[in-house]
């Protein structure tokens, strides 16, 4: 008889499980025993169980035994033999399905909220049958949570990629001196897939091509994190076989053949929930605390990286009220120093807020994009930073740039075409977003970052 993959809860298993959930509700750990609440609670235990998997369990649908084991661990139970059974009567008890080979990085993030729809959309795109590889890109500004989203996706759906999940740091050398792209692919093939490359293959291209050919059967997920130029990975590191699924994270907007998912800031409710989970005490629950928590999320523009770093900073200083923290941040606005506040640094040796996805800190995350802008585009960005928050009319930018060119010719002559190109670059790097036909919106932290890049002399000029 063919083995059936997966187990279902027995009647006694259901009773034990819901009894444990009832204790969690009574203690205030969760508000109700549903998929969403239990999935979020699982993150606090560093035992991530997806909402979809929990819903399957609650509907008595078959799931892998190790998924059920993790859910029982979440609610504080050991999984007994009597708690589960295989759907086919007398079916032998197979070994748990082994996890496909992967090198998914450990993020260090225990709280992940507000991205369920994006995860579903991403999985739908990557699951579409295709005749040839069609990369999918998570695109958005620095700090928006692209890498974290990719990690969560890889963790959640790793079992669907029997050929493995290969994580590649796309920048040639990242902050921790990871190996170049080709070396990472070859290393993964050798270490995780046990592929021995014959000596006759001498060039890097030949070795990578051999790895693609000998890759074990099954769907494969290749994740290129933080792609700076699409040409860095295409075509050399995109295999031709359609069973390879390619996911990119990038700050830039990419056109065909890449399918793009734009990652935006969190909704305010999700921002507040994330902040509350990170602070982990009652400072966000009092009337004043809730008010100032909303102020903080508004100040940070609901940017996940900003909220993560601020939440850890507050958690590390229980005596600091959220109101005091917000007041300190607002006081720094006039000093053009907001992104450089200690709370937003990413140095793990000094800041306990450090995680994989926050390793650079907020200012450094913006700096990576700033370095890609030419001088003319940087000047336009500094001008935009002078505008009040809210939609920015582009004709106002044109007028401001033309007047400054007349008064300060050392900044360069006014060139409408150059200004249009600068606007295109700012859009390309997700630094400004179209609001309507002639207006653009600017994230509040991006605005403060632009302001922080102006010298004292420029600040007087542009004022």
Residue 179's pLDDT band (boundaries 50, 70, 90)?
Answer: low
The single-letter DSSP state of residue 102 is B
What gap in Å lies between CA 304 and CA 358, rounded to an integer?
Answer: 10
Note the pLDDT tens digit of each residue in 395-442: 999 999 999 889 888 888 889 999 999 999 999 988 998 888 889 999
What DSSP assignment string belongs to 240-295? S-TTEEEEEEESS---TTSEEEE--PPPHHHHHHHHHHHH-SGGGTSHHHHHHHHH
pLDDT at 229: 86
Report helix angle 304-316 to 268-279, nearest 10: 30
Q: pLDDT band for position 223 (50/70/90)?
A: very high
Q: Which regions of 92-164 does DSSP assign to beta strands (E)?
A: 136-139
Alpha-carbon span 29 to 26, nearest angstrom:
8
pTM of the entire structure?
0.71
Higher pLDDT, 348 or 137: 137
What is the structure's pLDDT at 92?
Answer: 44
Q: Could you tell me what percent of the chain has a pLDDT over 90?
A: 37
Say how many Å lie between the first and final Cα of the chain, rounded.
79
- Lowest mean pLDDT of 62-71, 170-179, 309-318, name the range: 170-179
Q: Identify the bridge partners of residue 138 per DSSP, sorted by sequence position.
A: 249, 261
Q: What is the DSSP string of 325-386?
A: HHHHHHHHHTTT-GGGSGGGB--TTT-TT--GGGTTHHHHHHHHHHTTS-HHHHHHHHHHTT
Give residue-wise pLDDT tens across range 110-161.
667 888 889 999 999 999 888 788 899 999 988 898 998 999 999 889 999 9
Confidence of residue 172 (pLDDT cuts 50, 70, 90): low
Residue 43 binned pLDDT confidence (cut-offs 50, 70, 90): confident
How high is the pLDDT of residue 240?
87
Q: Given pLDDT bands bounded at 50, 70 and 90, which one contains residue 176?
A: low
pLDDT of 171 over the 80 cut = no
Q: Give the mean pLDDT of the chain.
A: 85
């Amino acid at each position: 008889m063919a083995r059936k993959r997966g187990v279902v809860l027995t009647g006694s298993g259901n009773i034990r499980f819901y009894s444990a959930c009832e204790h969690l509700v009574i203690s205030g750990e969760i508000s109700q025993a549903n998929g969403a609440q239990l999935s979020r609670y699982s993150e606090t235990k560093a035992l991530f169980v997806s909402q979809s998997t929990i819903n399957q369990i609650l509907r008595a649908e078959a799931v892998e035994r190790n998924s059920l084991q993790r859910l029982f661990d979440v609610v504080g139970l050991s999984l007994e033999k009597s708690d589960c059974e295989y759907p086919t009567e007398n079916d032998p008890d197979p070994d748990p399905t082994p996890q496909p080979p992967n090198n998914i990085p450990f993020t260090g993030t225990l709280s992940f909220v507000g991205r369920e729809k994006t995860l579903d959309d991403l999985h739908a795109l990557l699951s579409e049958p295709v005749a040839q590889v069609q990369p999918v890109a998570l695109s958005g500004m620095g700090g928006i949570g692209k890498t974290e989203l990719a990690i969560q996706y890889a963790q959640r759906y790793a079992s669907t990629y029997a050929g493995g999940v290969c994580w590649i740091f796309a920048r040639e050398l990242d902050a921790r001196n990871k190996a170049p792209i080709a070396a990472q692919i070859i290393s993964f093939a050798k270490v995780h897939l046990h592929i021995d490359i014959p000596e006759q293959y001498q060039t890097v291209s030949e070795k990578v091509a051999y790895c693609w050919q000998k890759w074990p059967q099954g769907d494969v997920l290749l994740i290129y994190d933080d792609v700076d130029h699409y040409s860095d990975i295409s075509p050399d590191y995109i295999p031709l076989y359609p069973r390879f699924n390619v996911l990119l994270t990038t700050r830039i907007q990419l056109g065909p053949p890449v399918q793009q998912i734009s990652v935006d800031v969190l909704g305010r409710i999700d921002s507040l929930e994330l902040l509350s989970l990170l602070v982990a005490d009652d400072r966000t629950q009092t009337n004043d605390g809730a008010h100032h928590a909303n102020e903080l999320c508004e100040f940070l523009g609901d940017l996940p990286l900003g909220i993560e770093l601020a939440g850890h900073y507050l958690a590390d200083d229980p005596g600091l009220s959220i109101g005091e923290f917000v007041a300190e941040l607002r006081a720094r606005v006039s000093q053009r120093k907001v992104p450089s506040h200690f709370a937003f640094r990413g140095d793990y040796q000094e800041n306990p807020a450090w995680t994989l996805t926050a390793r650079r800190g907020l200012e450094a995350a913006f700096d990576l994009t700033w370095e890609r802008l030419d001088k003319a585009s940087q000047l336009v960005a500094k001008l935009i930073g002078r505008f009040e928050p809210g939609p920015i009319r582009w004709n106002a930018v044109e007028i401001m740039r033309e007047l400054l060119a007349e008064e300060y010719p050392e900044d360069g002559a006014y060139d409408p075409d150059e200004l249009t190109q600068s606007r295109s670059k700012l859009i390309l790097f997700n630094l400004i977003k179209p609001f309507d036909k002639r207006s653009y919106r600017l994230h509040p932290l991006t605005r403060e970052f632009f302001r922080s890049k102006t010298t004292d002399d420029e600040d007087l000029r542009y004022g």
